[in-house]
Amino acid sequence: MEIASCKPLYAVLAALIGSILVSMAGRKPNFREGLSTVAAVIMFLIIASMVPAVLAGNMLKCTVFNILPGLSVTFRVDAFSMIFALAASFLWIIAVFYSMGYMRGLHEHAQTRFNTCFALALFGAIGVAFADNLFTLYLFYEIVSICTYPLVAHHQDDEGYMGARKYIVYLTTTAKGFVLPAMILIYVLTGSLDFATNISTGIFPAGVNSTLVTILYICCIFGFAKNGVMPFHHWLPGAMVAPTPVSALLHAVAVVKVGVFSTTRVMLYVFGVDTMSALNLGVPTAYFVSFTILMASVIALSKDNLKARLAYSTVSQLSYIILGVALLTPTAIEGGLIHITNHAFSKITLFFCAGAIYVASHKKNISEMSGLGRTMPFTFAAFGIASLSMIGAPPVAGFVTKWKLLVGAMEMESYYIGILLVLLASTLLNVGYFAPVTYKAFFGKRPPGEKYEGIKEAPLSMVIPIMIAAIISVLIGIFPGFMMNFVDRVTPDSVAVAMPQYDPAGAPPYIPPVDTHGAPAAHGEPVAPHGETVEPHGEQAAPYDGPVESHGAPVEPHGEPVEPGGESADPHGEAAVPQEQPAGH
């Protein structure tokens, strides 16, 4: 049920107002960080207050203003948006405390600008999460890109400016070159940019050219370059020149999650599972992002700089989310969507640990960290826990993702062997580039002449957020039920999620049926060459020999009358499988 509410707007404005107040309190550091904390807590509480309504099956909407018919700035809160919004708003709270310890520990300059832009990035991220249409999503997507540019260029040196330039060029060029034209054309074709209310139907009307829809789909996949899909991924490792809290923001809280959220929102709520399945878009997308999963992992193996290794790990892990949705099976979609949350908590833990290591020891390279875990046990223990999550080992959060992706792949009747091999290979690669870090830290020999004297754990304002994020990564792995409540409402039993090998029920009629001798069977069942239905597991149904009415039209086994033209009248308006007329009448 749709409910009019201003809460989505209040949640978005909390970050915007907070950023304004933070910018005005620059000369009072404690007051400035206090305002950031208050804004973060208020945003989280507003979002949390909408949880009961969403779990009850309601959708909260708030229209800010209308531009054209079918084009407006509107917010909506549904189960899909809550998966991202809850994680981002909560992580902002602990990121504020961590940033305070990091920035003050290194005596960083421009801390007011840093905190202001950080809040503005969350303003854009929550705007994307609560967008009700493609126009609103695109607007806040660009806000995130612009507001995070000063964060990437924070050090204001040649390396910082180069990384920031690559960052902004990649993200704005792809958005304007691919997404903006696609959005305009979608509006021309459909008369609206509003997202569908379920993941099956999409928004395209009957009669739209299938080639054009495919081109629009490809534009959206590449246009949201924050998703890290190769070849538009180079901005992400280049942005590692920023301070570690910014890296955590980029990789866990806001930026990359905005990318994969936007990508999957458009895949499911603009194109829809039925259209993607009928146009055979799912499997090619899955194998395309599989290349990113494997290649990014291979590159990560070669990196000695810890943040660079984590950056390429992020490129790989983001494609898990798109892979799950692209497989188009219910369990795989669940695995992809739950990874938005699972990856957020685990990856922010890893980047927090990298920052704590640098603050405490000024070491960036993995080769310099042998034996350091005995000096910083809490930090490296948290790193080990988060690494297990990225690998997909139980009982940490990433295991839930890997399990559902594997089960979802096996729900496919074809093309699943390659996906299973990709998941297995990527898991082994994850072990290859994560396990040595923790092993060397605890069991490695210290470099010659390195005594680690004076090195101790980072300040508590950094260690406590690290431990909180690590513990939550374990808890949502052992008790995934809360977040799965939202995921399950995205793919409920009442929604007919089409399998990639089936003709989807209710697919747009511009998709040609597989069988040219009749309309596709209802509920996704394929049609045999002579009009006889084939059961879902490939067994041929018995020929029809039911009773015949006096006027000669056959009656289906369950008693529904069949109209003279040979097609049964379906009470829900769906065309049933045509039955052949018996001879002699």
Q: CA neighbours within 13 Å on the CB side: how many for 24?
A: 7
Handedness of CA 393, 397, 399, 405 (dihedral sign): negative
**Can you tell me the distance from the alpha carbon of 357 to that of 375, in angstroms, rounded to the nearest whole number?**
10
The amino acid that residue 392 corresponds to is G
Please give the sequence-ordered ranges of beta strands (E in DSSP) within 339-443, or none if there are none: none
* pLDDT tens digits, one per residue of 58-77: 999 999 989 888 889 999 99
Provide the 8-state DSSP code for 65: E
Cα–Cα distance measured from residue 16 to residue 1, given in angstroms and rounded to the nearest whole number: 29
Q: Count other C-beta atoms under 10 Å from residue 67's C-beta.
A: 9
Q: What is the pLDDT of residue 363?
A: 87
Q: How confident is the model at residue 103 (pLDDT cuts 50, 70, 90)?
A: confident
Are 391 and 347 in contact by the 8 Å Cβ rule? The answer is no
Number of Cβ within a 10 Å radius of residue 565:
9
What is the spatial order of strands in the sheet that 59-68 belongs to?
2-4, 59-68, 71-77
Strand runs labelled E in 31-189: 59-68, 71-77
Q: Give the range among 112-121, 318-327, 334-343, 573-582 with minimum mean pLDDT.
A: 573-582
Q: Tens digits of per-residue pLDDT, 292-306?
A: 999 999 999 999 999
Pick the most confident of 218-232, 448-462, 493-507, 533-547: 218-232
CA distance 531 to 518: 7
Instruction: Compute CA distances 315 → 136, 191, 280, 296, whole Å.
Output: 26, 35, 25, 6
Sequence-ordered list of residues with C-beta below 8 angstroms from that of 573, at least 6 positions apart, any chain: none
In this structure, what token pair is assigned to residue 446? Answer: 């210290």
The token pair that represents 332 in the structure block: 């795989």
User: Tens digits of per-residue pLDDT, 105-162?
Assistant: 777 778 888 889 989 999 999 999 999 999 999 999 999 999 989 888 888 888 888 8
Look up tokens 């084009």; give the residue.
71
Per-residue tokens: 361: 């020891």
Rounded mean pLDDT, 191-202: 89
CA distance 152 to 143: 15
DSSP 509-556: TTSPPS-TTSPPPGGG--B-TTS-BB-TTSPBPPPP---B-TTS-BB-
Dist CA 155 CA 148 (whole Å): 13
Cα angle for residues 178, 179, 185 (degrees, 5° grid): 95
Region 6-13 average pLDDT: 94
CA-CA distance, 492 to 486, in Å (whole number)? 10
pLDDT of residue 469: 93
Instruction: Find out whether 74 and 136 touch, Cβ atoms under 8 Å.
Output: yes
* Distance of alpha carbon 371 from alpha carbon 382, whole angstroms: 16
Residue that has been written with the tokens 């082994």 in this structure:
428
Residue matched to tokens 């990874």 = 339
Tell me which of 248-252, 330-334, 531-535 is least confident.
Answer: 531-535
Contact 340, 261 (CB under 8 A): yes
Q: Cα 179 from chain centroid? A: 17
The DSSP code sequence of 438-468 is HHHHHHSPPPTT---TT--PPPHHHHHHHHH
Q: Which of 12, 36, 42 is nearest to 23 (CA)?
A: 36
Distance CA 407, CA 423 (A): 11
Q: What is the DSSP letter of 472?
A: H
- Between helix 111-129 and helix 255-266 the angle, nearest 10°, is 10
Q: What are phi and psi of 64, to 5 degrees?
A: -80, -50
Residues 544 and 562 sit within 8 Å (Cβ to Cβ): no
The per-residue pLDDT for range 448-489, each reduced to its tens digit, is 766 666 678 888 889 999 999 999 999 999 999 999 999 999
Integer Cα distance of 156 and 427 in angstroms: 38
What are the CA-CA distances from residue 585 to residues 351, 550, 553, 581 (Å)?
77, 9, 9, 8
Tens-place pLDDT, residues 80-97: 999 999 999 999 999 988
Residue with tokens 């905005």: 258
SS3 content of the chain, % helix, strand, coil (to 5): 65, 5, 30
pTM as predicted: 0.81
Half-sphere exposure of residue 156: CA atoms within 13 angstroms, side-chain side = 6
Answer whether residue 562 shows pLDDT above 50. no
Q: What is the pLDDT of residue 492?
A: 63
| Cβ–Cβ < 8 Å for 108, 361 | no
Determine the Cα–Cα distance for residues 125 and 148; give it in Å rounded to an integer: 11
Domain ranges across the chain = 2-490
CA angle, 398 as apex, 283 and 490 as ends, to 5°?
A: 55
- The answer to whether the bond into 330 is cis (omega within 30° of 0) is no
